[in-house]
């Protein structure tokens, strides 16, 4: 990296070992925060942004510099599907990983996969549309008298999609859903996953995040074209549920 300076004389470019040492000792003495004071306290000819970034992305001892595990990559994919390019939020769910690291990893490793994956999917979609008529799933709405609504909550199996093919056969895919019925003021009732019951919301999120590849493709849970972003060779049985808390993800989105 170049050893240039800005017009104000502040150093830019790669950090030297000495600079790192000064910054580390400053943080250990005064703690994190008040970044505008850090350059002065540390005796560094750097702007506060540069100091903050260097600490957060490189020097902070809590940073995990090991290669991402399969579980973490999988988690990243799911969170990105959920949150988009909100790297800091994604990083917050991956202990020891920084937003910059997550962002870089995404751009260098995963984005290319996404593009090729999408191309494959659009080809398959075209192929499917040539031969099959897809009956799109409709939102679930219950009448006030529905027997489904007479219980606190219902575990049921619902056909997610029906594909009628040219030879007349109908293929139904099924997925276990847990839905909490909500009574509307006008008498109609809608089954929706949002609930104040934390166990229930956790179950719903678990369903959302764990719906298998083929089911996501036809599920009404996620209807965007790019919703099917799973990758092969991921071992879901090793999923570490400690990496995240579903309720806190709900908090993020609210």
Partner DNA sequence: AAGCTTCGCAACCGCTCTACA
Partner DNA sequence: CTGTAGAGCGGTTGCGAAGCT
Q: Interface with DNA by CB under 7 A: which residues? A: 1-2, 6, 11-15, 33-36, 48-50, 52-54, 57-58, 85-89, 99-101, 103-105, 107-109
Cα–Cα distance, 88 to 248 (Å, whole number): 14
CB of 53 to DNA, least distance (A): 5
SS3 23: helix
CB of 5 to DNA, least distance (A): 10
Q: Which residues lie below 8 Å from residue 20, measured CB to CB, with a gap of 6+?
A: 54, 58, 59
CB of 143 to DNA, least distance (A): 41
Contact of 39 with 12, CB cutoff 8 Å? no
CB of 90 to DNA, least distance (A): 8
Cβ-based nearer residue to DNA, 58 or 231: 58
Cβ-based nearer residue to DNA, 91 or 160: 91
Cβ-based nearer residue to DNA, 93 or 215: 93
Cβ-based nearer residue to DNA, 4 or 185: 4
Cα dihedral value 130, 135, 136, 142, nearest 10: 180
Instruction: Please give the C-alpha separations between residue 57 and each of 42, 100, 184, in angstroms, as whole numbers.
Output: 18, 7, 48
């Amino acid at each position: 990296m170049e050893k240039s300076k800005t017009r104000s004389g502040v150093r830019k470019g790669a950090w030297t070992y000495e600079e790192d040492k000064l910054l580390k000792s400053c943080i250990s003495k005064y703690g994190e925060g008040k970044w505008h004071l850090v350059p002065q306290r540390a005796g560094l000819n750097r702007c506060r942004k540069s100091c903050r970034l260097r600490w957060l992305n490189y020097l902070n001892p809590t940073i995990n510099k090991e290669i991402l595990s399969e579980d973490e990559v999988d988690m990243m994919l799911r969170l990105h599907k959920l949150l988009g390019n909100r790297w800091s939020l994604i990083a917050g769910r991956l202990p020891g990983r920084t937003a910059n690291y997550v962002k870089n990893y995404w751009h260098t490793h995963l984005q290319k996969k996404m593009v090729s994956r999408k191309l494959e999917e659009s080809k398959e979609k075209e192929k499917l549309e040539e031969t099959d008529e897809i009956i799109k799933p409709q939102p679930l709405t219950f009448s006030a008298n529905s027997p489904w609504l007479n219980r606190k909550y219902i575990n049921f199996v619902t056909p997610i999609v029906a594909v009628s093919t040219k030879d007349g056969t109908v293929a139904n895919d099924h997925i276990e859903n847990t839905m909490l019925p909500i009574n509307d003021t006008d008498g109609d009732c809608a089954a929706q996953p949002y609930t104040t019951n934390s166990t229930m919301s956790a179950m719903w999120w678990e369903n959302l995040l764990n719906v298998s590849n083929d089911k996501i493709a036809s599920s009404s849970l996620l209807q965007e074209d790019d919703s099917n972003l799973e990758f092969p060779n991921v071992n879901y049985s090793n999923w570490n549920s400690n990496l995240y808390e579903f309720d806190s993800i709900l908090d993020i989105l609210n």
